[in-house]
Structure 1
Protein backbone atom coordinates (compact mmCIF):
# COMPACT_ATOMS: atom_id res chain seq x y z
CA UNK A 1 0.00 0.00 0.00
CA UNK A 2 1.34 3.39 -0.99
CA UNK A 3 0.46 6.49 1.04
CA UNK A 4 -2.57 4.95 2.75
CA UNK A 5 -4.21 3.75 -0.44
CA UNK A 6 -5.88 0.42 0.30
CA UNK A 7 -6.96 -0.36 -3.26
CA UNK A 8 -4.90 -0.72 -6.41
CA UNK A 9 -5.35 -2.12 -9.90
CA UNK A 10 -2.56 -3.03 -12.34
CA UNK A 11 -2.53 -2.70 -16.10
CA UNK A 12 0.00 -2.69 -18.90
CA UNK A 13 0.38 0.19 -21.37
CA UNK A 14 -0.59 -0.98 -24.87
CA UNK A 15 0.68 0.27 -28.22
CA UNK A 16 -2.65 1.92 -29.11
CA UNK A 17 -2.37 4.14 -26.00
CA UNK A 18 0.89 5.88 -26.89
CA UNK A 19 1.22 8.98 -29.03
CA UNK A 20 3.80 10.34 -31.48
CA UNK A 21 6.12 11.16 -28.58
CA UNK A 22 6.01 7.46 -27.59
CA UNK A 23 4.37 8.23 -24.25
CA UNK A 24 0.83 7.53 -23.06
CA UNK A 25 -1.56 10.03 -24.63
CA UNK A 26 -3.02 12.19 -21.84
CA UNK A 27 -6.67 11.16 -22.26
CA UNK A 28 -5.86 7.48 -21.64
CA UNK A 29 -5.06 8.21 -18.00
CA UNK A 30 -8.77 8.90 -17.41
CA UNK A 31 -9.55 5.51 -18.92
CA UNK A 32 -7.03 3.88 -16.59
CA UNK A 33 -8.66 5.63 -13.64
CA UNK A 34 -12.14 4.63 -14.81
CA UNK A 35 -11.10 0.97 -14.99
CA UNK A 36 -9.53 1.11 -11.51
CA UNK A 37 -12.51 2.92 -9.94
CA UNK A 38 -14.88 0.31 -11.37
CA UNK A 39 -12.71 -2.40 -9.79
CA UNK A 40 -12.68 -0.44 -6.51
CA UNK A 41 -16.46 -0.74 -6.35
CA UNK A 42 -16.64 -4.33 -7.68
CA UNK A 43 -13.64 -5.95 -5.97
CA UNK A 44 -12.89 -3.62 -3.08
CA UNK A 45 -16.43 -2.86 -1.93
CA UNK A 46 -17.96 -6.05 -3.36
CA UNK A 47 -20.81 -4.11 -4.97
CA UNK A 48 -22.94 -5.82 -7.59
CA UNK A 49 -24.24 -3.08 -9.87
CA UNK A 50 -26.77 -5.43 -11.45
CA UNK A 51 -28.33 -6.51 -8.15
CA UNK A 52 -27.95 -3.40 -6.00
CA UNK A 53 -29.65 -0.05 -6.44
CA UNK A 54 -26.64 2.17 -7.02
CA UNK A 55 -25.13 4.03 -9.93
CA UNK A 56 -22.87 7.06 -10.25
CA UNK A 57 -21.68 9.52 -12.88
CA UNK A 58 -18.57 11.64 -13.28
CA UNK A 59 -19.04 15.27 -12.27
CA UNK A 60 -15.49 16.62 -12.24
CA UNK A 61 -11.95 15.40 -12.82
CA UNK A 62 -8.72 17.17 -12.00
CA UNK A 63 -5.51 15.57 -13.25
CA UNK A 64 -1.97 16.57 -12.37
CA UNK A 65 0.64 15.06 -14.69
CA UNK A 66 3.99 14.42 -12.98
CA UNK A 67 5.76 12.11 -15.43
CA UNK A 68 5.01 9.88 -18.40
CA UNK A 69 4.26 6.22 -18.90
CA UNK A 70 5.58 4.38 -21.95
CA UNK A 71 4.78 1.30 -24.00
CA UNK A 72 4.81 -1.94 -21.96
CA UNK A 73 5.11 -0.16 -18.60
CA UNK A 74 3.14 -1.88 -15.88
CA UNK A 75 1.13 0.74 -14.03
CA UNK A 76 -0.55 0.63 -10.65
CA UNK A 77 -3.62 2.79 -10.24
CA UNK A 78 -4.26 3.55 -6.56
CA UNK A 79 -7.74 4.65 -5.41
CA UNK A 80 -9.17 5.91 -2.15
CA UNK A 81 -12.42 7.61 -1.31
CA UNK A 82 -11.54 10.77 0.58
CA UNK A 83 -14.99 12.28 1.09
CA UNK A 84 -18.64 11.30 0.89
CA UNK A 85 -21.13 14.14 0.74
CA UNK A 86 -24.91 13.94 0.46
CA UNK A 87 -24.93 12.95 -3.22
CA UNK A 88 -21.26 13.29 -4.18
CA UNK A 89 -18.16 11.21 -3.55
CA UNK A 90 -14.58 12.42 -3.95
CA UNK A 91 -12.04 9.82 -5.07
CA UNK A 92 -8.29 10.42 -4.99
CA UNK A 93 -6.21 8.43 -7.43
CA UNK A 94 -2.51 8.06 -8.03
CA UNK A 95 -0.79 6.23 -10.86
CA UNK A 96 2.69 4.84 -10.38
CA UNK A 97 4.96 2.66 -12.46
CA UNK A 98 5.30 -0.81 -11.04
CA UNK A 99 7.93 -0.94 -8.33
CA UNK A 100 8.03 2.85 -7.91
CA UNK A 101 6.36 5.09 -5.36
CA UNK A 102 6.70 8.45 -7.10
CA UNK A 103 3.46 9.26 -8.93
CA UNK A 104 3.29 9.81 -12.65
CA UNK A 105 -0.21 11.20 -12.18
CA UNK A 106 -2.37 12.47 -9.31
CA UNK A 107 -6.13 12.86 -9.70
CA UNK A 108 -9.15 14.07 -7.80
CA UNK A 109 -12.37 12.71 -9.23
CA UNK A 110 -15.83 13.74 -8.08
CA UNK A 111 -18.71 11.36 -8.74
CA UNK A 112 -22.40 11.93 -8.12
CA UNK A 113 -24.85 9.23 -7.08
CA UNK A 114 -27.30 8.98 -9.96
CA UNK A 115 -30.84 7.76 -10.54
CA UNK A 116 -31.07 6.47 -14.12
CA UNK A 117 -34.87 6.63 -14.14
CA UNK A 118 -35.19 10.27 -13.16
CA UNK A 119 -31.84 11.22 -14.72
CA UNK A 120 -31.03 13.21 -11.59
CA UNK A 121 -28.63 13.04 -8.70
CA UNK A 122 -29.74 11.37 -5.52
CA UNK A 123 -28.27 10.81 -2.06
CA UNK A 124 -25.52 8.20 -1.79
CA UNK A 125 -27.34 5.10 -0.54
CA UNK A 126 -26.62 4.28 3.10
CA UNK A 127 -25.38 0.77 2.25
CA UNK A 128 -22.80 2.25 -0.16
CA UNK A 129 -21.72 4.88 2.36
CA UNK A 130 -21.34 2.16 5.02
CA UNK A 131 -19.26 -0.08 2.74
CA UNK A 132 -16.97 2.77 1.70
CA UNK A 133 -16.44 3.83 5.30
CA UNK A 134 -15.80 0.23 6.41
CA UNK A 135 -13.43 -0.42 3.50
CA UNK A 136 -11.42 2.77 3.90
CA UNK A 137 -11.11 2.26 7.66
CA UNK A 138 -9.86 -1.30 7.18
CA UNK A 139 -12.98 -2.98 8.60
CA UNK A 140 -13.95 -4.51 5.24
CA UNK A 141 -11.33 -6.95 4.03
CA UNK A 142 -9.45 -6.32 0.81
CA UNK A 143 -10.05 -8.53 -2.18
Structure 2
Protein backbone atom coordinates (compact mmCIF):
# COMPACT_ATOMS: atom_id res chain seq x y z
CA UNK A 1 0.00 0.00 0.00
CA UNK A 2 1.44 3.34 -1.03
CA UNK A 3 1.28 6.63 0.82
CA UNK A 4 -1.94 8.49 1.54
CA UNK A 5 -1.85 12.24 2.19
CA UNK A 6 -5.19 12.25 4.00
CA UNK A 7 -6.98 10.23 6.66
CA UNK A 8 -9.97 10.81 8.90
CA UNK A 9 -10.54 9.09 12.27
CA UNK A 10 -13.81 7.36 13.16
CA UNK A 11 -14.63 5.44 16.32
CA UNK A 12 -16.90 2.41 15.96
CA UNK A 13 -20.20 2.94 17.78
CA UNK A 14 -22.52 0.32 19.26
CA UNK A 15 -25.18 0.90 16.59
CA UNK A 16 -22.67 -0.08 13.88
CA UNK A 17 -22.00 -3.63 15.07
CA UNK A 18 -24.04 -6.68 14.18
CA UNK A 19 -24.99 -9.92 15.93
CA UNK A 20 -21.43 -11.20 15.48
CA UNK A 21 -20.18 -8.15 17.44
CA UNK A 22 -18.26 -6.79 14.43
CA UNK A 23 -18.96 -3.80 12.20
CA UNK A 24 -21.84 -4.58 9.84
CA UNK A 25 -20.46 -4.49 6.29
CA UNK A 26 -22.57 -1.58 4.99
CA UNK A 27 -21.12 0.77 7.60
CA UNK A 28 -17.73 0.67 5.90
CA UNK A 29 -19.28 2.55 2.98
CA UNK A 30 -20.55 5.17 5.42
CA UNK A 31 -17.06 5.49 6.88
CA UNK A 32 -15.67 5.98 3.37
CA UNK A 33 -18.35 8.56 2.58
CA UNK A 34 -17.53 10.54 5.73
CA UNK A 35 -13.80 10.45 4.96
CA UNK A 36 -14.20 11.46 1.31
CA UNK A 37 -16.39 14.39 2.38
CA UNK A 38 -13.63 15.53 4.73
CA UNK A 39 -11.04 14.97 1.98
CA UNK A 40 -12.87 17.34 -0.37
CA UNK A 41 -13.41 19.83 2.45
CA UNK A 42 -9.63 19.89 3.01
CA UNK A 43 -8.54 19.82 -0.64
CA UNK A 44 -11.18 22.02 -2.25
CA UNK A 45 -12.06 24.17 0.74
CA UNK A 46 -14.77 24.59 3.34
CA UNK A 47 -17.20 25.91 0.72
CA UNK A 48 -17.03 22.79 -1.43
CA UNK A 49 -20.68 21.92 -0.75
CA UNK A 50 -21.72 25.30 -2.17
CA UNK A 51 -20.17 24.19 -5.45
CA UNK A 52 -22.65 21.31 -5.54
CA UNK A 53 -25.57 23.60 -4.70
CA UNK A 54 -24.54 25.87 -7.58
CA UNK A 55 -24.23 22.85 -9.93
CA UNK A 56 -20.51 23.55 -10.47
CA UNK A 57 -18.98 20.44 -8.89
CA UNK A 58 -21.20 17.65 -7.60
CA UNK A 59 -20.16 14.02 -7.37
CA UNK A 60 -22.15 10.82 -7.66
CA UNK A 61 -20.88 7.33 -7.00
CA UNK A 62 -20.64 5.17 -10.10
CA UNK A 63 -18.89 2.11 -8.71
CA UNK A 64 -17.30 0.90 -5.49
CA UNK A 65 -15.48 -2.28 -4.54
CA UNK A 66 -14.47 -3.34 -1.05
CA UNK A 67 -12.08 -6.05 0.06
CA UNK A 68 -12.76 -7.16 3.62
CA UNK A 69 -9.52 -8.30 5.24
CA UNK A 70 -10.31 -8.17 8.95
CA UNK A 71 -13.29 -6.96 11.00
CA UNK A 72 -13.52 -3.81 13.09
CA UNK A 73 -15.13 -4.05 16.52
CA UNK A 74 -16.96 -1.88 19.02
CA UNK A 75 -14.93 1.14 20.18
CA UNK A 76 -12.10 0.58 17.69
CA UNK A 77 -10.52 3.81 16.51
CA UNK A 78 -10.24 3.56 12.74
CA UNK A 79 -8.34 5.74 10.30
CA UNK A 80 -10.02 6.02 6.91
CA UNK A 81 -7.37 6.93 4.34
CA UNK A 82 -8.37 8.25 0.93
CA UNK A 83 -6.78 9.63 -2.20
CA UNK A 84 -7.53 10.37 -5.82
CA UNK A 85 -5.34 8.23 -8.08
CA UNK A 86 -6.73 9.02 -11.52
CA UNK A 87 -8.90 11.66 -13.16
CA UNK A 88 -10.77 11.38 -16.39
CA UNK A 89 -12.65 14.18 -18.10
CA UNK A 90 -15.64 13.83 -15.75
CA UNK A 91 -14.68 11.04 -13.35
CA UNK A 92 -12.18 10.31 -10.59
CA UNK A 93 -10.83 7.03 -9.29
CA UNK A 94 -10.29 7.00 -5.54
CA UNK A 95 -8.59 4.48 -3.29
CA UNK A 96 -9.33 3.91 0.39
CA UNK A 97 -7.71 2.01 3.23
CA UNK A 98 -9.41 1.50 6.57
CA UNK A 99 -6.90 0.76 9.29
CA UNK A 100 -6.91 0.06 13.02
CA UNK A 101 -3.45 1.23 14.04
CA UNK A 102 -1.10 -0.43 11.56
CA UNK A 103 -3.54 -3.23 10.72
CA UNK A 104 -5.25 -2.96 7.34
CA UNK A 105 -8.92 -3.96 7.64
CA UNK A 106 -10.49 -2.81 4.37
CA UNK A 107 -9.22 -1.82 0.94
CA UNK A 108 -11.63 -0.09 -1.40
CA UNK A 109 -11.79 1.61 -4.76
CA UNK A 110 -14.46 3.96 -6.04
CA UNK A 111 -15.28 5.83 -9.21
CA UNK A 112 -17.02 9.16 -8.71
CA UNK A 113 -18.52 11.17 -11.53
CA UNK A 114 -19.01 14.93 -11.73
CA UNK A 115 -22.75 15.22 -12.25
CA UNK A 116 -24.89 17.93 -13.82
CA UNK A 117 -28.20 18.17 -11.93
CA UNK A 118 -29.86 20.07 -14.77
CA UNK A 119 -29.13 17.55 -17.52
CA UNK A 120 -28.89 14.41 -15.40
CA UNK A 121 -25.60 13.55 -17.11
CA UNK A 122 -21.90 13.72 -16.40
CA UNK A 123 -19.95 16.90 -17.03
CA UNK A 124 -16.26 17.87 -16.97
CA UNK A 125 -14.52 18.32 -13.64
CA UNK A 126 -13.73 22.05 -13.33
CA UNK A 127 -10.06 22.78 -14.00
CA UNK A 128 -9.64 24.63 -10.67
CA UNK A 129 -10.83 21.52 -8.78
CA UNK A 130 -8.62 19.29 -10.89
CA UNK A 131 -5.60 21.49 -10.11
CA UNK A 132 -6.25 21.52 -6.34
CA UNK A 133 -6.41 17.72 -6.31
CA UNK A 134 -3.23 17.42 -8.40
CA UNK A 135 -1.43 19.79 -6.04
CA UNK A 136 -2.64 18.07 -2.87
CA UNK A 137 -1.77 14.58 -4.10
CA UNK A 138 1.60 15.74 -5.42
CA UNK A 139 0.95 13.75 -8.54
CA UNK A 140 0.71 14.41 -12.19
CA UNK A 141 -2.84 13.24 -12.74
CA UNK A 142 -3.71 13.59 -16.38
CA UNK A 143 -7.06 13.69 -18.10
CA UNK A 144 -7.88 10.43 -19.83
TM-score, with structure 2 as normaliser = 0.89
Query: What residue is the counterpart of 1:13 in the other structure?
Result: 12
Q: Give the ranges of 4+ consecutive aligned residues of structure 1 lying more than 4 Å apart after TM superposition.
A: none
Report if aligned partners of 2:43, 2:132 keep a CA contact under 8 Å in 1. no
Q: Report the RMSD for the aligned CA atoms in angstroms.
A: 1.5
Following superposition, the deviation at residue 47 of structure 1 comes to 5.3
Distance 1:31 1:50, change over 3 A: closer
Query: What residue is the counterpart of 1:42 in the other structure?
Result: 41
| Separation (CA, whole Å) in 2 of partners of 1:83 and 1:130 | 13
| Separation (CA, whole Å) in 2 of partners of 1:27 and 1:21 | 14
Determine helix, strand or coil for the equivalent of 2:48: coil
- Which is richer in helix? 2
TM-score, with structure 1 as normaliser = 0.89
* CA displacement 1:48-97 (0-9 Å, x = unmatched): 23443211100000000000000000000000100001111000000001
User: Which structure 2 residues correspond to residues 1-143 of structure 1 after superposition, within 5 A?
Assistant: 3-46=2-45, 48-52=47-51, 53-97=56-100, 100-137=101-138
- How many residues were matched structurally? 135
Determine helix, strand or coil for the equivalent of 1:4: coil
- List runs of 5+ in structure 2 lacking aligned partners: 140-144
Distance 1:47 1:110, change over 3 A: farther
Following superposition, the deviation at residue 45 of structure 1 comes to 3.1
- List runs of 5+ in structure 1 lacking aligned partners: 139-143
| Separation (CA, whole Å) in 2 of partners of 1:41 and 1:133 | 13
| Separation (CA, whole Å) in 2 of partners of 1:42 and 1:117 | 24
Determine helix, strand or coil for the equivalent of 2:129: helix
Report if aligned partners of 2:91, 2:112 keep a CA contact under 8 Å in 1. yes
